Structure formats: C-alpha cells, structure tokens
Structure 1
Amino acid sequence: MSELTQNLKPYCVGRYLIDMPGDVLVTGGATVQGVRIESEAMTHEAYLQEVASRKAELRGTKSIDPYPFLYADDEIDGPDAHYFVYRGNLSDGPANRVFEAYKWDHGHRFKLGIEGSDYLHPDQTNKPYIQALDVKNDVPVKTALIFDLVKRLRWRSEDEIPREPGLCFFGAFLPGKATDKEDVGAQFVFPDNRDVSLGLGSNSSIREPNTLLQRGDQINAGLSSIKGGRTIRKGAVKLQGIDAEEWLIAGETDLGVPGSMFTLEANSMTSSAQSPLLTLDFYTGSPNAFMRDRIKAASMSESEAVAVWDIVSGTLRPRPNGF
C-alpha cells in the first residue's frame, strides 16, 4: 500500500481539502440554497444540442388544463447559459414550477434545478390553505437565485485549489462566503482497486442530535445483522483544525465478500456555515460509482485498508481562506 499513498495530492471538496492519489477517479455534486448542481464533461456542440433538444421537448409539451406548461425559456447572458421554468409533470397542479438551468464552461456542462410554486398565476388565493401561506409566489426569488448561481459558477480542474472563499465540487467552483445551506459530496475510487472508495460529504444545513460515538447502541445493533460484523476500532480523532470521531467496521459487504466500512464524523451537533457536518466513509469490497461488478474478494486486506485510512483521513482539513 506504500505505493498507493506515497504520491498523494490535495483535492478540494466543499470548503475542505483531502489528500488522495493523483490518479484517483472522482465524481460528485452539490446542493446550494436548495438548488441541485451537477457537472458533466461535454463538448460545446453537444451542449448546444442538449439545450436545443430540451427546448424542443418542453415547447412541444402541452398541458392537460387551460394553463401553460412552459413559463420561461431564455438565455442568461448569452448562448452558453439557458434556463427554463415549467410545470413539471403533466399531472402537476397549475401552481407547480420547476426551474432548470444549463451552463457550459471550458468543456463542462453544469445543470441546475430547484422546484417552486406560484399560486397567483392562476390565482388560487380563494383557498384557505393558500391564504395561510407566507409566500404565495416564489418564482421571482428563485429565478434570481438561479441567475446568481449560474453567473458565479465556473469550471475548475481537479488540480486547482482555489485561494478565495467558495465551494469546490466535481469540475466546478462556486465563489462566495459560506452559508448555512450548502451540501457537497464527492466520491473517490482507486483506479487499480475499483472496489475501494472514499466518500467525503460536507453539509451545513444538518445538525445531528448526537455524535457518531453516541450512536453506539444503534451501530452495534446494525453490526449484529452483518455477517461477520465487528468493530475494528472506534474513538475520538484529532485532525488539522477538526475534532472528529471514527468507527471502523469489518464484515460482509453488499457484494457478499468480507470487506471494510470505516466512518469519520465531525461537527455532528454543532453544524453551521463555518463548521459544517463532515462525513468521511471508506469502503472495500463494495460497489461504487465506478465499480458495480461481482467480485470474489476485496482487493485490500483489513490491515491494508486501515493503513490507507489512517494516512488519507488524517489529511482532511479546512481549505485556507475557504470560508
């Protein structure tokens, strides 16, 4: 395992850094202020074709009532950013709104989405439950939110470690100060050990009622349902500027082979914009975004998995000026 961990480099996830092998496979996305954001490598021609196809599809969809299906269809500062506002499914009521935006930058397509409602067009304020709503039309607010995110969002190579405040996720960087509604996730898969993955999550909008170790009874109960399930070790962990807890488990995986399931958690009960809930999950002998095939055995032994975990998890740290 020494070859695997001797040439590590920093990767940016959310507002944090973690060191991983330089050839690691990466995927992930983010949800910011309720807006789901995903990125995909794509040529400019393919991007334009995708937007054109989506435009034709939405324009060609007719609602089953007298009200429109498509409410907005326009560019955002040029042809490389476009947005739609439409009803959603044909069975959705006339107040339902789906916001969908696209942006192309440096060979990557970003797709953004959020749902909203408008009970004023058509006017449904004669209904008591709608009269009780504080906001009866959030289309203007969510349109402004989508526009703001689209304009700020830019492509980022995995080698780039930004020096300004902002969120990193796969293929992207969103500049801006930390907020309490940021959910970012990334999965790293070792190319020569496709059954080995590490998932890092950062969520500033979730605050748990207890810590990882305080959920011991629940975890131990779950262990009893795993063939060969047992605790390798557990306890508090001091990282670079982060107080965390870890629980390392061994047992049969979803692929039916003995493997490892390690978890680290920080800021469980104190999650906020400046210290979001952090979760780090390490699996061997398990399926992931890049490997779903059946295997006869995990590609790492238990001792090798622990050695890799100790090195990699110990590098998790806040990104300088990230917040």
Structure 2
Amino acid sequence: MNELTANLKTRCVGRYLVDMPEGMYVSGYAKIQGVDIETKAMSGDAYQREIEKREAELKATRSALGYQFLYQDGEAWGKGTRYFVHLGNPADPSDAARVIEAYKWDHNYQIRLTIEASDYTHSVFKDEPSIKQMTVKNNVPEKTRLVFGLLEKVRGRADDEIPTEPGLCFYGGFLPAKAGSEEEVSTQYVLNDRKDIRFNIESTPDLRDSTTLLQHADSPEARAALKAMDAKVIRKGTVELAGMKAEEWLFEGLKPGDGRGDSFSLRANEITSSPSSPFLSMDLTTGGQVQIQDQYVKLDRASLTTGEAVALWDAVSRTLRPRPNGY
C-alpha cells in the first residue's frame, strides 16, 4: 500500500483537483453545451491517417433508404482541422437527421467533437404539419458554429498538466472558459497492474438532486440492496474537504459475477450544485471481475484487502479540492 500512496500526483478533473497514484491508466470524456468531446493520444502523422480513413468511410457509406449521406466536409476554423456533416445512421428513416463531427490535433492528442442536428429545408417530410409548425427547420448552421467555436478554443493536455486559467479539464484536453452551465466531465483512473482497482470521478453544475448520498444510504431500497449483496457497511458520514463539505459511504459485499469487493462513494454539492460549486462524485471499486481481452474474468478476491482499499481511499479522497482560478 505504501508504494501506491507514497507518490501521489496532482490531477485536474473538471474544475477540481485530486492527487492520484502514479502509473494509472486514464480515460474519460466531456460534454459541453451539448457537444460531446473525446480525445485520443496519437502522433500528428497518425492523426492525418485517421482523418483520411474517416473521410473515406463517410464517402463510401450509403443510406439504406437512398438518402444522401455525406452533406458537407472541409476545414473548420483553423489549419489542420476537419469537419463532416452527415446523416449519422445509414438506416435512419429520416433524411433530416444530421451529425456534425469536427477534428483537430493538438499537443499529441486528436480531439473529436460531435453533436446531433437536423435540416428539414429540403426534406421529403418538409410539408408535414408538424414540420411546418417548427420555428427552426434547420439548426445545422447554428450548431456548426458552436462546434467550430469550441474546436478553436479547446486544446490537448497531458494528464499531469494543471492549467492556471479558468476552464474545464477532461481526459486529454482543456477548454478555457469561465464557469457556466451545460458542462459534464467523467474521468476513470485504473491501476495498470491491478485492473480491478478503479476510481471514477464525475462533475457537472447541472445536476441538483433532491436527496443526498447519506439519505439514499439510509433508505429502505439501499438497505434491501445491501442485504442482497451480503454487504457490510464499513463507514458512512460527512467529510470536511478543502473548501467544501462532502458525504461518503463505504461498504464491502458481493459483486456481479459472485466475486467480493469494495464500493466506496463520495458526493459533494448534490443539492446545491451550481457553476461556482459544481456537483462532484468520486467512486472507488475493487474486486468483482475484470475485462481481459474482451472477456470478463471473476476475481475470488480483490487486489487489495478492504483495509488497504480504505487506506488508498483516505489518501486520495481527502485531496479533492477546487482548482485555484478554475472558475
């Protein structure tokens, strides 16, 4: 356990900071103003090959109903960028559906933005009463400008880079922006040599729940679930973190696949979430089963004992704090 907690390194998730063990596999995504953002580490040459491959795929795709599939493609607002507007699903029964996807390469990451849109201007369904009543029959230009604007600002980011300006951190990227609504981040950290040890951190200013974690933990539904899992509550209560209060609930029990393991949860700003204090959740799971070469393998025991998992949880969870100048 000492080797895991001796060299914690600061990471940025959303508008928060957390100290994580070194040598972890990281993944995740962000959604901002309805636009999905995904990143993938790669070289500039690999990025060019990926774009050429994607262009060829889209140009070769045909609608199952004979509709036009690829509508627009070209460069966005910046050299080396690329965007496509297409039908999305080749089997889509509507010719008005659109998917806007745009790409750039920055700091050794491919950054991909996507959003759904619609265009009924020349649709075969344009004369239907419900379509005629629509105030906006074509939102492709508006959403394309939104995607281009975000693509222009977003930049690649190494996992250990901690920005000093207001903005949103997510896996492989950073969007400079003052705190606002319509943003969501999810990041997963998995120990490379013990793949059942998994942290999941999520944050959004747009979630405001009616109950807290501890209220849920004391509900009849939660007690019934714990009984079905043959679970033992290890600890639950309030937690004082730097600049905020949180609640935690730790238990050990049966996992899917009949293995046993730990499930630890922490929540902050559940019923008071806002752009200046976004909802924050962190979960640690151990044991159960792990995925190896597309197959799930049951673990009779977790890679950490419950005592070791608690020690890891305490070392990491107590470092959660708002990022200075993050808002």
Common fold: TM-score over 0.5: yes
> Identity, % of aligned pairs?
48
In structure 1, stretches of 5+ residues that fail to align are none
Separation of aligned partners in 2, 1:283 and 1:306? 11
| Residue of structure 2 equivalent to 1:62 | 62
CA–CA distance in structure 1, aligned partners of residues 245 and 184 of structure 2: 20
Range that drifts further, 78-87 or 258-267: 78-87
Check the 8 A contact 1:197/1:288 in 2, yes or no: no
Q: Is the 8 A contact 2:28 2:170 kept in 1?
A: yes
Establish whether residue 149 from structure 1 lines up as the match of residue 153 from structure 2: no
Alpha carbons 1:255, 1:285 under 8 Å: kept: no
Evaluate the alpha carbon distance shift between residue 4 and residue 15 of structure 1 in structure 2; reply closer, same or farther with a 3 A threshold: same
- Give the drift of 1:66: 6.5
* In structure 2, C-alpha distance between the alignment counterparts of 1:300 and 1:122, rounded to whole Å: 58
Q: Which residue of 2 aligns with 1:207?
A: 208
Tell me which residue corresponds to 1:319. 323
For the residue of structure 1 that corresponds to 2:103, the secondary structure is: strand
Match of 1:259 in 2: 261
Encode CA deviations 1:202-231: one digit per residue, 9 max, x unaligned.
0222221211112121322221221x2121
Cα distance in 1, alignment partners of residues 69 and 55 from structure 2: 12
Mapping of 1:24-35 within 5 angstroms?
24-35=24-35
Deviation at 1:20, TM superposition (A): 0.8
What's the offset of the Cα at 1:284?
A: 1.0
* Partner residue in 2 for 1:224: 227
1:164-220, Cα deviation, whole Å (9 max, x unpaired): 011111111111112211110111122333211111100222221211112121322
**Corresponding residue number in structure 1 for 2:123:** 122
Q: 1:294-323 CA distances to partner (integer Å, 9 max, x unpaired)?
A: 333111111111111112111101100111
After TM superposition, list the pairs within 5 Å mapping 1:147-296 onto structure 2. 147-215=148-216, 216-217=218-219, 218-226=221-229, 228-287=230-289, 292-296=296-300
Query: Once the 2 structures are TM-superposed, how far is the Cα of residue 245 of structure 1 from its aligned partner?
Result: 1.0
Could you say if the C-alpha distance between residues 63 and 194 of structure 1 is closer, same or farther in structure 2, counting changes exceeding 3 Å? closer
Q: Which runs of 5+ in 2 are unaligned?
A: none
CA distance in 2, matches of 1:125, 1:204: 37
The residue aligned with 1:38 is 38
Shift of 1:289: 7.6
CA contact (8 A) 1:196 1:286 kept: no
Separation (CA, whole Å) in 2 of partners of 1:230 and 1:11: 31
Assess if the C-alpha contact under 8 Å between 2:65 and 2:91 holds in 1: no
Structure-2 change in CA distance of 1:79 and 1:289 (3 Å): farther
The 8 Å contact of residues 211 and 269 in structure 1, kept in 2 or not, is answered as yes
Q: Aligned partners of 2:27 and 2:47: how far apart in 1?
A: 19
Q: Do the aligned partners of 1:267 and 1:275 also contact (CA within 8 Å) in 2?
A: yes
Q: AA paired with 2:314?
A: D
User: In 2, are the aligned partners of 1:99 and 1:114 still within 8 Å (CA)?
Assistant: yes
Q: Which residue of 2 aligns with 1:21?
A: 21
Go from structure 1 to structure 2 and tell me whether the alpha carbon gap of 1:142 and 1:235 turns closer, same or farther (over 3 Å shift).
Answer: same
Q: 1:35 to 1:290 in 2, by over 3 A?
A: farther
Mapped to 2, the partners of 1:205 and 1:192 lie a distance apart of: 35
Secondary structure at 2:316's aligned position in 1?
helix
Report if aligned partners of 1:12, 1:161 keep a CA contact under 8 Å in 2. yes
How many residues align? The count is 322
For residues 228-274 of structure 1, give each alpha carbon's deviation from its aligned partner in whole angstroms, at most 9, with x where no partner exists: 21211111111111221111111012243221100111111222222
Asked if structure 2 preserves the Cα contact closer than 8 Å seen for 1:81 and 1:104, the reply is yes
In structure 2, how many angstroms separate the alpha carbons of the residues matched to 1:281 and 1:203? Answer: 15
C-alpha distance 232-49 of structure 1, shift in aligned 2 (>3 A): same
Instruction: Compute the RMSD of aligned alpha carbons.
Output: 2.0
Shift in Å, 1:17: 0.3
Cα distance, 1:290 vs structure 2: 8.2
Q: TM-score under structure 2 normalisation? A: 0.92
Counterpart-to-counterpart distance in 1, 2:4 and 2:239: 23
Change (3 A) 1:153 1:287: farther
* 1:36 Cα deviation from its structure 2 partner: 1.1
CA distance in 2, matches of 1:109, 1:169: 13
